[in-house]
Amino acid sequence: MREMVLVRDTLTTPIGELVLLADEECRLRAIDWVDHEERMHRLLARQYRLSKILVQEQTDPFGLTHALGNYFDGDLHALHTLPVATEGTMFQRRVWQLLREIPAGETISYGVLAQRLGQPNAVRAVGLANGANPVSIVVPCHRVIGANGSLTGYGGGLERKRWLLEHERAHRARAIA
């Protein structure tokens, strides 16, 4: 087992305090809500097969916190170029890549996402990969909904998912420009 050194910062948002963890190469490794930080660390340890995560506090590491703040201020483009580094299976990484291709303010179902992967019968696996996404918001797992259009499964809670989707729809005209 190995150790990983990450820098940590927080951001106060309209829907709670967000925690971000980045590596020394300016890549986001995890984003989650403060009230789910323990789960975030467990997920990281599992994905990277780590014995220990060493965390150093740093204000606005590499401008990442500022960029996330811009997103919450309505600049949906602020997330497009943020670098992420994730482990996980090849399947999970393919799902996470496709999540980044969903335009802000739009939603798709787990089934449509499975079809885009070329694996239409992998709906449950897509849901599991979506739930294991360590870099929420930047890898927008909140944009995936149930086949009937209902809001389903979001690690930060359905109220946050609803808020994020409404926020993106409200600022979408600015994002398209």
Catalytic, 26? Answer no
Q: What gap in Å lies between CA 168 and CA 143, rounded to an integer?
A: 10
Q: What gap in Å lies between CA 101 and CA 80, rounded to an integer?
A: 9
- Active-site choice (19, 82, 141, 144): 141
Indicate which residues carry an active-site annotation: 141
